[in-house]
């Protein structure tokens, strides 16, 4: 290489260095690293010319010497580990591990939320906020999906299961002849309660011909497509208020009805005289009995309900301060008829005015004046020879407060919002079990039922769909108006607002009772909330 070319090369290096230094002066980005690279390139180029750096330096002009000094002064910064080419930026890029080939119990990955969403959409899991954790409930749902698709039921999502699950034409849940599992046992138990299975020994967990026949009869009576399978349509109907039972029900007249009425009257649930006809009073008595004895509240005298009514373990009825239901209305009507209560106070809410009237009635008619409406009180109220109020007894014209905001003459329901949140929080971590109502395991509606029961609120057990319109609390239609203690109802799920934008619920996706923030999932699926206190 000629001297002239050497000088031209070094001048180019100088210009490049000055340009980069100028960029560093104004932008402060990576100057050291880039200049070092340019300097190394220059040295290598000179070496390749076959001349030593010393000879080149002696043959250049003063300005070239200045350039060489600048190049030597440039700091060459080494590459950092993991190939970080820009150490001066101090940026750490975090990436999630690739999706495991096998998704199984115990695995945590963002893709699992998609899996849970798909299982819920297809009816294999209860609707809930998806998570990134693969728990026991998710595994059980996967096994049912595998059963339906003829796969090995190992509860693991691998190359065989995943494509079928995510396919646009994936099969929805439907229990059918030959299926075996806990889900089948739950279906059989409900068919038995509704009178479609004749005896308890038919609840085996195996979907046999008798179960298929029961499903067909249910579909026929309820005007569904008759295929003998329990798919999403039939499953939703099983726990709805619209279900028609194959058992003793409204309008029926028989000795069997009379026997049940006698027992309900004895226990204090039936407020009218037994007559053998399954009328509105009998249906109300059955519903109240089912609520207080932890049965599914449907108003039907199915085998399970009849068995409990006739058992020694049946819990007697007793309306007390704070109750609010149709039976309270019936009690108030009887007290008004007897002259102890103004009809304006027959609101359906058992407040201090009702309690005072009841105590006066009990005292005047030879009963213990405890202010509790039990079997003896209702029996006395339904007789002809009752004593009316004395002249000193005065009926008040002041309306009884309805209790919708937890208020009565005594100020509130037993407890408060704070107490309710404390009770709910005490069960955080308890396992999620479909259909469980406490005290150590729950599903979403069972958890709400149990908490309200501990608070002394006489709420029947109803499913999440039933919570869309329970008809007795203050309705909250706007998600932004939710307060602590409200029952929050979303599509297929229900929980208790804990305040501060948090919710406590029995989560199928997490497999336990948990407390967490109400994410956009809750807002997007919101239907209504109910204010208890």
Q: State whether 514 and 439 are in the same domain.
A: yes
DSSP letter (8 states) at residue 391: T
- Same domain, yes or no: 424 and 520: yes
358 pLDDT tier (thresholds 50, 70, 90) = very high
Tell whether 425 is covered by a domain: yes
Instruction: State the pLDDT at residue 95.
Output: 67
68 & 9 share domain: yes
Q: pLDDT band for position 400 (50/70/90)? A: low
Please report whether residue 268 resides in a domain: yes
Identify which has the larger pLDDT, 506 or 42.
506
Return the pLDDT at 454.
82
- Domain end (from 29, 56, 89): 89
Answer for the pair 533, 420: CB distance below 8 angstroms, yes or no: yes
What is the number of structural domains in the chain? 6
- Domain of residue 115 covers 111-172
This prediction has a pTM of 0.60
- Bridge partners (DSSP) of residue 513 are 506
- Shared domain check, 223 and 186: yes
Lowest mean pLDDT among 227-236, 299-308, 441-450, 484-493: 299-308
Q: Is residue 320 part of a domain?
A: no
Whether 438 and 490 share a structural domain = yes
Give the mean model confidence (pLDDT) for residues 386-401: 63
Confidence category of residue 12, pLDDT binned at 50, 70, 90: low
Q: Which of 65-79, 104-118, 381-395 has the lowest mean pLDDT?
A: 65-79
Give yes or no for residue 285 having a pLDDT over 70: yes
Residue 79 pLDDT exceeds 90: no
Three-state SS letters, 226-244 = CCCCEEHHHHHHHCCCCCC
Note the pLDDT of residue 240: 77
- Are the C-beta atoms of 235 and 218 separated by less than 8 Å? no
Do the domain assignments include residue 409? Answer: no
Average pLDDT, the chain: 80
Instruction: Indicate whether 100 belongs to any domain.
Output: no
Asked whether residue 407 is domain-assigned, the answer is no
CA–CA separation, 488 and 485 (whole Å): 9
124: closest CA among 102, 106, 147, 142? 142
Within a domain: residue 393?
no
Tens digit of each residue's pLDDT (9 = 90 or more) over 491-520? 889 999 999 999 999 999 999 999 999 999
150 in the same domain as 131: yes
Same-domain check for residues 33 and 120? no
CATH number reported for the structural domain that contains residue 455 in this entry: 3.90.1720.10
CA 30, 31, 36: angle at the middle one, nearest 5? 105
18 occurs within a structural domain = yes
What pLDDT shows up at residue 243? 86
Residues 6+ apart with CB under 8 A from 268: 316, 317, 318, 373, 374, 375, 376, 377, 378
Q: Are residues 443 and 503 in the same domain?
A: yes
Considering the domain architecture, whether residues 25 and 85 belong to the same structural domain is answered as yes
Q: Which has more pLDDT, 11 or 263?
A: 263
Q: Are 134 and 66 in the same domain?
A: no
- Tell me which of 323 and 191 has the higher pLDDT: 191
One domain for residues 476 and 514: yes
Asked if 421 and 469 sit in the same domain, the reply is yes
Residue 288 is predicted with a pLDDT of: 86
Cβ pair 286, 264 in contact under 8 A: yes
Rg (the chain; Cα; Å): 38
């Amino acid at each position: 290489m000629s001297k002239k070319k050497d000088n031209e090369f070094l001048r180019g290096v100088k210009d490049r260095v000055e340009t980069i230094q100028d960029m560093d002066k104004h932008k402060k980005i990576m100057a050291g690293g880039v200049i070092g690279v340019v300097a190394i390139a220059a040295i290598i180029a000179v070496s390749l010319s076959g001349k030593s750096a010393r000879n080149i330096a002696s043959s250049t002009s003063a300005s070239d010497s200045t350039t060489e000094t600048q190049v030597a002064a440039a700091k060459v910064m080494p590459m950092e580990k993991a190939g970080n080419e820009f150490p001066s930026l101090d940026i750490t890029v975090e990436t999630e591990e690739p999706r495991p080939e096998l998704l199984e119990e115990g695995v945590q990955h963002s893709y699992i939320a998609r899996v849970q969403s798909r299982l819920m959409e297809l009816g294999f899991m209860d609707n809930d906020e998806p998570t990134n954790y693969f728990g026991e409930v998710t595994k059980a749902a996967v096994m049912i999906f595998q059963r339906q698709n003829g796969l090995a039921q190992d509860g693991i999502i691998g190359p065989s299961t995943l494509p079928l699950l995510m396919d646009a034409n994936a099969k929805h849940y439907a229990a059918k002849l030959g299926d075996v599992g806990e889900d089948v046992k739950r279906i059989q138990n409900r068919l038995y309660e509704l009178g479609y299975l004749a005896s308890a020994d038919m609840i085996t967990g195996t979907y046999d011909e008798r179960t298929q026949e029961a499903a067909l009869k249910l579909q026929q009576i309820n005007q569904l497509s008759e295929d003998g399978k329990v798919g999403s349509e039939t499953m939703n109907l099983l726990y709805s208020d619209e279900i028609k039972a194959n058992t003793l029900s409204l309008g029926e007249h028989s000795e069997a009805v009379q026997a049940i009425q006698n027992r309900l009257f004895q226990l204090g649930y039936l407020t009218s005289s037994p007559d053998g006809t399954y009328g509105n009073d009998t249906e109300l008595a059955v519903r109240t009995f089912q609520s207080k004895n932890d049965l599914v509240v449907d108003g039907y005298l199915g085998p399970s309900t009849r068995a409990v009514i006739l058992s020694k373990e049946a819990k007697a009825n007793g309306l007390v301060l704070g109750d609010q239901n149709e039976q309270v209305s019936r009690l108030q009507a009887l007290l008004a008829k007897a002259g102890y209560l103004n009809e304006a106070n027959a609101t359906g809410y058992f407040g201090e005015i009702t309690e005072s009237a009841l105590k006066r009635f009990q005292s005047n008619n030879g009963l213990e004046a405890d202010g509790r409406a039990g079997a003896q009180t209702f029996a006395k109220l339904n007789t002809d020879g009752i004593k009316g109020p004395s002249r000193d007894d005065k009926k008040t014209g002041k309306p009884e407060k309805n209790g919708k905001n937890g208020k009565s003459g005594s100020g509130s329901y037993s407890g408060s919002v704070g107490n309710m949140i404390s009770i709910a929080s005490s069960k955080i971590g308890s396992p999620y079990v479909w259909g469980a109502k406490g005290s150590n395991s729950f599903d979403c509606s069972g958890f709400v039922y149990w908490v309200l029961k501990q608070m002394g609120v006489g709420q029947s057990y109803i499913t999440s769909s039933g919570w869309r319109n329970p008809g007795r609390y203050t309705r909250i239609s706007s998600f932004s108006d939710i307060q602590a203690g409200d029952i929050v109802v979303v599509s297929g799920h229900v929980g208790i607002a804990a305040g501060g934008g948090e919710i406590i619920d029995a989560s199928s996706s997490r497999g336990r009772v948990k407390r967490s923030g109400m994410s956009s999932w809750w807002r997007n699926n919101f239907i209504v909330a109910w204010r208890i206190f």
